[in-house]
Structure 1
Amino acid sequence: MKLNPKDRKWFITGAALLLTATPSFALFGIGDIVFDPTSYASLVSQLTTITQQYNMLKNNIEHFSLKQQWQTTLTALKNVNVANMFGETNGMSIAFNTNSPTASSTGWKSATVPVKSSASSYLQGQTLGSPQMAQLAMIEMSDSVSPDCITAVGAYRSARMQNSTANSTLIANQLDGSSATNSEVQQLNLLNAAEVQRMSEMQNQGTLQACLASEMAVTNMQQRNAAATDLNTAVFVQTQHATHDMSAASEDSTWQTYLP
């Protein structure tokens, strides 16, 4: 059959299109809907990879089967029971175990030697910087700092007992390996709760450290005053030795201010 030039042109064009077409074919005989096996295989591969990544992330988020390796023991504080045979430590047991400034003050007064009111007239005649005034200052500082520190210890013990349930619950949730408490949001909330508890513990520890520093200041004051008194005594004795003749020729006079 001989094709005219016009038909030959359309035939060559159609053949060229067929030779360059990708492996596609129409579905259900409808030419506009084309199925591409190559693209479908690529999509299936991508979907498989995404599914695997999702399952891996989901398993990491929801299941921590080795959480017990993080477990620690919350040290329980034993209640203090101070002996009180004759009322010499009234209130001390309460003060060391509860947040009670009144019990701390009462217990401290009962357990320490008071400065008698009759000492006022004697101390009024002393000058600032004298050993007597320094001792009085140390006593007054100790009477102020020590009851507060006892109260801080009692408050810490009391708070630790009150917070034991919250701490135990947090630990249980952190170590839970089920999906009930292991979503990403829940884990972040647990981290935030742990951080709040840690901050609270640091603040309580800071209060106790401040008390320790205060008590150390009072103790240092006592040691410093004792050292200064010894030094002043040595200077006084040396001065007296140089002023008063200790030889037998002067034994008729009595040294009234002698310090050994």
Structure 2
Amino acid sequence: MKLIKTKNKKYLIVGSLVLATATPSFAIFGVGDIVFDPTSYASLVSQATTALNQLKTIQSNIEHFSVKQQWQTALTKLENMNVASMFGETAGINIALNANSPSASLTGWKTATMPMSGSTSAYLQGQNVNSAQRAQLAMIETSDAISPDCLTAVGTYRSGRNQNSNANSLLAQQQLDITSSTNSEIEQLNLLNAAEAQRMSEMQAQGTLQACLAAQMTVANMQERNAAVLDLNTAATVQQQRSTNDTSAANESNTWQTYLP
């Protein structure tokens, strides 16, 4: 009888330990049914919520603009040039300065500049290739080639003002927008790329104008150089003439050779 009581006591102790270490759970609809564990359920719900939030973040980041051409620009907005033409002397210049028209640039330049007469052409034909007259002719011919091209460049730069104004405004508006429609990661990257494309277009257009400025400076330098060389050549010629021909007064033995007219 005592042995049986000892065994029962041992079973009670083991059962108590099992109950103390068991996770919180309970059976549905009585013993033997499916066991529901609230702790595991809460963990699964948390994991599912985290995964759903991550999915929403990914979806938000991959949203993109469907119309990117609205930001495309070529030039910067400028006001129209308006050149007076009282007697038609600048015909074509207005068109050349405000539109991409090489033909108007060439016509306008020829109309607005003094033509070379036939007799001048015959005179220049008999001059030495390195003469002052041929150097002046080279400068004129260079200017006649460069100037119409620069007129076209300026007109091309101005002609895109309406298109560029709209594109620039749309880009600036969406860059400053604070709504979710333009603030996903890929949308912001698209805006940055569009701004960089606009900047590159502007740099290319500015580069064309800067090339024209450099070309015009070359023509101006040619004129200044020709004038400086002509002065030096004149001084040398006068000095040579004074040395060869005695210009001293009567009964004078010294020749004044340092005077230049």
Relative to structure 2, which stretch is displaced further, 27-36 or 182-191?
27-36
How far has the Cα of 1:230 moved from its partner? 1.3
Of residues 35, 38, 41 in structure 1, which corresponds to 2:37? 35
Deviations 1:95-124 (A, max 9, x none): 111111111111111211112121122112
SS at match of 1:214: helix
| Other-structure match for 1:94 | 95
User: Structure 1 stretches of 5 or more lacking a match?
Assistant: 63-73, 252-257
| CA separation of 1:24 and 1:127: change in aligned 2, threshold 3 A | same
CA–CA separation in structure 1 for the residues paired with 2:51 and 2:135: 79
TM-score by length of 1: 0.75
CA–CA separation in structure 1 for the residues paired with 2:251 and 2:183: 95
| Other-structure match for 1:103 | 104
Summarize the alignment of residues 1-260 of structure 1 with structure 2, pairs less than 5 Å apart. Answer: 2-3=3-4, 14=15, 16-18=17-19, 21=21, 23-28=23-28, 33=35, 35=37, 37=39, 76-249=77-250, 260=261
Deviations 1:33-74 (A, max 9, x none): 46364x777788888999999999999999xxxxxxxxxxx9
How far has the Cα of 1:233 moved from its partner? 1.6
Letter in 2 for 1:162: Q
CA–CA separation in structure 2 for the residues paired with 1:6 and 1:223: 125
| CA separation of 1:111 and 1:117: change in aligned 2, threshold 3 A | same
User: Structure 2 stretches of 5 or more lacking a match?
Assistant: 64-74, 253-258
SS at match of 2:169: helix
How far has the Cα of 1:87 moved from its partner? 1.2
| CA separation of 1:13 and 1:220: change in aligned 2, threshold 3 A | same
Letter in 2 for 1:35: D
CA–CA separation in structure 2 for the residues paired with 1:170 and 1:259: 68
| CA separation of 1:151 and 1:109: change in aligned 2, threshold 3 A | same
Relative to structure 2, which stretch is displaced further, 5-14 or 204-213?
5-14
SS at match of 1:134: helix
CA–CA separation in structure 1 for the residues paired with 2:45 and 2:132: 93
SS at match of 2:78: coil
RCO (CA 8 Å, sep 6+): is it higher in 1 or 2? 2
| CA separation of 1:242 and 1:159: change in aligned 2, threshold 3 A | same
Letter in 2 for 1:26: F
Residues 76 and 157 in structure 2, CA contact (< 8 A), matched pair in contact too: no
Residues 61 and 182 in structure 1, CA contact (< 8 A), matched pair in contact too: no
How far has the Cα of 1:132 moved from its partner? 0.7
| CA separation of 1:85 and 1:219: change in aligned 2, threshold 3 A | same
TM-score by length of 2: 0.75
CA RMSD of aligned residues (A): 3.9
Residues 96 and 151 in structure 2, CA contact (< 8 A), matched pair in contact too: yes
| CA separation of 1:80 and 1:250: change in aligned 2, threshold 3 A | farther
How far has the Cα of 1:249 moved from its partner? 3.9
Relative to structure 2, which stretch is displaced further, 177-186 or 77-86?
177-186
CA–CA separation in structure 1 for the residues paired with 2:36 and 2:251: 135
Aligned length in residues: 241
| CA separation of 1:114 and 1:3: change in aligned 2, threshold 3 A | farther
| Other-structure match for 1:66 | none
Letter in 2 for 1:160: R
SS at match of 2:26: strand
CA–CA separation in structure 2 for the residues paired with 1:32 and 1:8: 31
How far has the Cα of 1:203 moved from its partner? 1.1
